[in-house]
Amino acid sequence: MKLAIVEKLMPVITKKQAYQLMKVFEEVIGNDANASIFRANINPLRLGLQLYKLIDDIANAFGYS
């Protein structure tokens, strides 16, 4: 749900906010598997695909590699 909200806000976020969001994603993805956001999720595949799409959209919109 939170990823969907962020995706809806994409057109109005600034480059600085996008940078901060990408840093959060980097931290979350770098966490230990036991503390993963996928662990307690009902549909981890959907969450993973949503996260990947959002990261890709931010990378394309703001020029991150």
Q: What is the 3-state secondary structure (H, E, C) of 3-65?
A: HHHHHHHHHHCCHHHHHHHHHHHHHHHHCCHHHCCCCCCCCHHHHHHHHHHHHHHHHHHHCCC
The residue type found at 60 is: N
- Structural domain containing residue 15: 2-62
Asked whether the CA dihedral 18, 33, 1, 59 is positive or negative, the reply is positive
Q: What is the pTM of this model?
A: 0.72
pLDDT at 65 over 70: no
Segment 1-58, tens digit of pLDDT: 678 888 888 888 899 998 998 888 888 778 887 777 677 778 888 888 888 899 999 9
**Bigger pLDDT: 44 vs 61:** 61
| All residues at 6 or more sequence positions from 46 whose CB lies less than 8 Å from its CB, including other chains | none
Segment 8-18, tens digit of pLDDT: 888 888 999 98
Domain tally for the chain? Answer: 1
